Homo-oligomer: A and B are copies of this chain.
Amino acid sequence: MGISVDTFFLKPDAQGTLQAQIQQMIAEGILSGRFHVGEKLPSSRKLATHLGISRITVTLAYTELLANDYLTSRGRSGYYVSDNAPVPPSYTPLQRAEETVDWNRAIARRFTGGDTLHKPSNWRDYRYPFIYGQADPTLFDHANWRLCAVRALGQKDFASLTADYVDQDDPLLIEFIARHTLPRRGITAKPEEILITLGAQNALWLAARVLLNRRRKAAIEDPCYYALRELLLQARCQVAPLRVDVDGLPPDAIPHDTDVIFTTPSHQSPTTATMPLNRRHDLLQRAREIDAMIVEDDYEFEMAFLAAPSPALKSLDRDGRVIYVGSFSKSLFPGLRLGYMVGSEAFIREARALRSLVLRHPPGHIQRTAAYFLSLGHYDAQIRRVSAALLERRKAIESAITDHGLTIAGRGAYGGSSLWMRAPKAVDTKVLAEKLRAQSVHIEPGEPFFSGPEKPKNYFRLGYSSIPVNRIEPGIEILAQSINRQ
């Protein structure tokens, strides 16, 4: 690709002759790595016209750069960055003058510094990646996804996909979710009650912003998905963390002045506890008594390979107080960034207006591709394939854990893609995880999931969605040795 003439400017305050300025511009482009070896420079005529200077000035500059081996000439076809030019391996702009802005003053609100799991971006390089929430490329129906994407890029769809939807969603995707996805959870919803979001995270954030403010209180599970706690802290509402038990969130513990209850009844995150049906009824009853809304994060209901999942809390909701959050991150892949929320029209209307303010709408092409993939039945086949693999891995990990004498603190009754583990009291799993890195084992320390000052340090999560089945036992062996050595 040629270097665009539009990237050349004469600086009003520049020193030296015009020819020298041009030479410097090009040398800087090369030395900073902005221009690559072999890239073609604009013709002298073009550059001269663009800068409003005489062509001879440009030609002289080029000749000089040729002599210095910055450029090379290929006869009539023009000037190129020379093979011998000192191009650095990556683009590193030349140092600018020191900035004078005081960012400590300029930044009104800080968003960094919260609890986050530091997931290694190179987790694929680990031999034993017990990572959670990443896709396994070997299980994904890549060929059909590609076909759907190409179909969604077809001329027929193109007009509707390129347009600014303003605040709307792809009607095909909405219809599929209403007719096929939600009925699996026992949920009935009209299109006006469904909003597509940029993943479940985006749905939780929208719900928090619409339903909470400084005077309101949110009840959350403890431990819970750390990013939920983080976004509630940012919403500056009051937060009541409630310790979960083996059946998930205990309804009795919910404070009477709670406005919104955030819960993961089907697979408590991260303990994997499944809330029994009678507790679901009790939870709805408690919410009715104190007039609280419920945000139900049903983030991996599809991964139910041990038993059929129980119906969603939302399906039992007669009052309209449950807001249901679903996601395609686990069943398709997380990089897709597609989720959805279901709730009463009055709520969805506000969430839609807020989404519009923040990002308008998730990209049309992504929505349409997912709609095709779902409606052609590939999604069901995908879930069957992933479930079969997860079942095999689940058996392998449970048996390895038993063999090596480790302790499972929570395992989803229906399936899921992770186990919640407890190490002996004395073990700090952050330190453990750090040590294991040297042996190419990745585990997730449990501490960031907990609220409050007295966070247990001896829990951890083992994901099995991205580790090949034959790596599981050897990985658990290393883990067990490391724990026993503590």
By a beta-carbon cutoff of 8 Å, the part of chain A in contact with chain B is: 1-2, 4, 6-7, 9, 12, 29, 32-34, 50, 90-94, 96-97, 99-103, 105-114, 119, 121, 124, 133-135, 137, 140, 142, 145-146, 149-150, 153, 155, 158-159, 161-166, 168, 175, 178-180, 183-184, 186, 188-191, 198-199, 201-202, 205, 209-213, 216, 227, 230-231, 234, 259, 277, 291, 293, 308, 311, 315, 318-321, 329, 333-338, 344, 346-347, 349-351, 353-354, 356-366, 375-377, 380
CB-CB under 8 A from A320, the residues of chain B are 99-101
A158 and B178 contact, CB distance less than 8 A: no
**How many copies of this chain does one complex carry?**
2
B162 and A109 contact, CB distance less than 8 A: no
A213 and B109 contact, CB distance less than 8 A: yes
The 8 Å CB contact of A114, one of B4, B168, B230, B353, is B353
CB-CB under 8 A from A375, the residues of chain B are 1
The 7 A-B residue pairs with the shortest CB-CB distance, nearest first, are A99-B320, A162-B333, A7-B183, A111-B353, A164-B334, A103-B346, A335-B364
Name which residue of chain B comes closest to A178, CB basis. Answer: B91
16 intermolecular pairs with C-beta atoms under 8 Å apart = A1-B376, A34-B178, A93-B190, A99-B319, A108-B210, A109-B350, A111-B353, A133-B164, A135-B162, A137-B158, A137-B162, A163-B334, A163-B335, A231-B358, A335-B365, A358-B359
Interface centre among A112, A119, A329 (most CB of B within 10 A): A112
Kindly provide the distance from the CB of A301 to the nearest chain B CB, expressed in whole angstroms: 10
Residues A112 and B350 in contact in the complex (CB < 8 Å), given A97-B318, A320-B100, A344-B103: yes
CB-CB under 8 A from A137, the residues of chain B are 158-159, 162
CB-CB under 8 A from A175, the residues of chain B are 90-91
CB-CB under 8 A from A133, the residues of chain B are 164
Kindly provide the distance from the CB of A256 to the nearest chain B CB, expressed in whole angstroms: 16
B163 and A357 contact, CB distance less than 8 A: no
Kindly provide the distance from the CB of A183 to the nearest chain B CB, expressed in whole angstroms: 4
